[in-house]
Structure 1
Amino acid sequence: MKKEKHLPGILERERLIGDAVKSVAAELRLVDLDILARFIYLEQHANIADLVASSCEMFFKENTLIYGSRADIELKWGEIPNIVLDLEFHHQGVQVFFALALRPLVAAVDVHAISFEGDGHTPAQNTARLIAALDDARIGNDNRLAAAGIAVEAQRHQ
């Protein structure tokens, strides 16, 4: 999806979210691909939600980062599998709906929507609110297996 250039701060916000969830992405990559593929193919959303919750529990406060009840997998002969999970972040009046794409060595986020409770905030103030909400929701340390960064889906489409 190509991001509209007139949306203030969307690329920066995707980068912030990507950096916040890189440890979760690394944990999800530890799940056996056969099991995850089966859950996605059979639409076993409760099982996927459990996997996401257990991958989040060391890095985010409970119920701040959750599975958004949609998953997709691309499996083709001779190609690298691509898993996409919709996730939701809810904390301190900030709601983010985004897709997390998992590949063997890289992950990417693609933000679908961000909403902020309250009126009269500038885009810069809302970005600061997102930073504060992500910082407050996080617990523990980053996963050492997590990549140094996470790709922002929009950057590849410009």
Structure 2
Amino acid sequence: MSQYHLAEINIAKMKGVDINDPIMKEFVDNLDLVNTLAEKSEGFVWRLKDDSYNATNLNPYNDEQIIVNVSVWENIETLEHYMYKTFHSEFLKRRKEWFLKFGKAHTAMWWIPRGHIPTLEEAVEKLDYLQQNGASELVFDLRTKFPMPVIA
């Protein structure tokens, strides 16, 4: 059993003025399905959610157009399987229908001790660090992955 899990944050800037904008309807209508699929996926550990069962009401960037997702997975492979080999991939293919091009890093990943649950503030700090400093063993993205730390 690994001593580490993979934490990730991803953000997106909506085309709509907020999550209730009609342009976001199909995306919103499928959130519960996509989130349930994540929770039932192999390797899933935890995800950030509020009283509405998702994180769409959380606003750490003080911008109604930015939505945030934070989750924890056993490893990179299980996260990527969920992202690219399940129904979730259909939404990735269609993201331009709902979201604007972000222009900077919008996904960050980092290794956490098994059992640690990242706070939203911690996740935002990791993404900010990646945006300012680039990928390293401290925080990285899907293009520049770093392996799980080895315990000597």
TM-score range (shorter-chain normalised) is 0.3 to 0.5
Q: TM-score, normalised by structure 2?
A: 0.36
Higher strand share: 1
